[in-house]
């Protein structure tokens, strides 16, 4: 699981209300949600973001609501991975459950600027800033969560478990 793309960088406490404002929660269509991703924070984001790009943010990313629409919107607009100093816990589990890769690494966030080319190796926890030639070590993903991600998200994981029980 290696991702490579251009970094889009934002600050601390990016909440789910700015990731996907409640006024758009009368739909759950990923493509509709993707059109409004981060709209109240940066109107240009959806025009700038390209497939494979990496979202970089400060601490407590995704705080607030339990709306899974937030990681869905981020994934659907093409972001391959989110690197933050820390994640709010419901966002964290929602991202794992839907298969949106996320990594916590304070040093990497401080060492990446908007526009830098970044590579993230999820399994080994290695983040490279290719533009600046720097490498950062994040905590590798726990095996438990790697298994969910490998299965393609929690639904596929649970399907496997239900089969075992049968």
Partner 1 sequence: MTKPMTMSQKILAYHAGKEYVEPGDLIFANVDLVLGNDVTTPVAIKEFEKIGIDRVFDKDKIAIVPDHFTPNKDIKSAQQCKMVREFAKKYEITNYFEVGEMGIEHALLPEKGLVVPGDLVIGADSHTCTYGALGAFSTGIGSTDMACAMATGKCWFKVPEAIKFILYGKKTGWTSGKDIILHIIGMIGVDGALYKSMEYTGEGLKSLSMDDRFTIANMAIEAGAKNGIFEVDEKTIEYVKQHSTKPYKIFKADEDAEYSQVFEIDISKIRPTVAFPHLPENTKTIDEITEKIYIDQVVIGSCTNGRIEDLRIAAKILKGRKVKKGLRCIIFPTTQNIYKQALKEGLIEIFIDAGCVVSTPTCGPCLGGHMGILADGEKALATTNRNFVGRMGHPNSEVYLSSPAIAAASAVLGYIGSPEELGMKGDDE
CA 97, 34, 1, 140: dihedral to nearest 10 degrees? -60
Q: Are strands 2-9 and 117-121 parallel, antiparallel or unpaired?
A: antiparallel
Supply the minimum distance, in Å, between the C-beta of residue 139 and partner 1: 12
3-state SS, one letter per residue, for 87-141:
ECHHHHHHHHHHCCCEEECHHHHHCCCCCCEEEEECCCCEEEECCCCEEEECCCC
Binds partner 1 by CB under 8 A, chosen from 49, 57, 74, 86: 86
Within residues 89-128, the interface with partner 1 by CB under 8 A covers: 89-90, 93-94, 97-98
In sequence order, what are the beta bridge partners of 120?
3, 127
Residue 2 or 98 having the CB closest to partner 1? 98
Residue 4 or 150 having the CB closest to partner 1? 150
Residue 51 or 163 having the CB closest to partner 1? 163
Within residues 10-69, the interface with partner 1 by CB under 8 A covers: 13, 15, 17-18, 21-23, 25-28, 40-41, 59-60, 63-69
Supply the minimum distance, in Å, between the C-beta of residue 9 and partner 1: 18
Q: Are strands 134-137 and 126-129 parallel, antiparallel or unpaired?
A: antiparallel
Question: String of b and e for 49-73 (b: at least 16 CB within 10 Å)?
Answer: beeebbbbbbbbbbbbbebbbbbbb
Q: Residue count at the site for partner 1 (CB under 8 A)?
A: 41
Give the residues lining the site for partner 1 (CB under 8 A): 13, 15, 17-18, 21-23, 25-28, 40-41, 59-60, 63-69, 72, 86, 88-90, 93-94, 97-98, 142, 144-145, 153-155, 158-159, 161-162
């Amino acid at each position: 699981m290696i991702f490579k793309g251009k970094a889009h960088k934002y600050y601390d406490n990016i909440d789910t209300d700015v990731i996907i404002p409640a006024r758009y929660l009368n739909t759950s269509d990923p493509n509709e949600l993707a059109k409004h991703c981060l709209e109240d924070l940066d109107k240009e984001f959806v025009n700038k973001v390209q497939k494979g790009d990496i979202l970089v943010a400060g601490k407590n990313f995704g705080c607030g609501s339990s709306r899974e629409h937030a990681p869905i919107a981020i994934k659907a607009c093409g972001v391959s991975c989110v690197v933050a100093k820390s994640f709010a816990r419901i966002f964290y589990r929602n991202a794992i459950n839907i298969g949106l890769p996320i990594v916590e690494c304070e040093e990497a966030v401080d060492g990446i600027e908007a526009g830098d080319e970044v590579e993230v190796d999820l399994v080994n926890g290695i983040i490279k800033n290719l533009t600046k030639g720097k490498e950062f070590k994040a905590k590798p993903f726990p095996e438990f969560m790697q298994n969910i991600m490998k299965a393609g998200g929690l639904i596929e994981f649970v399907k496997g478990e239900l089969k075992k029980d049968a």
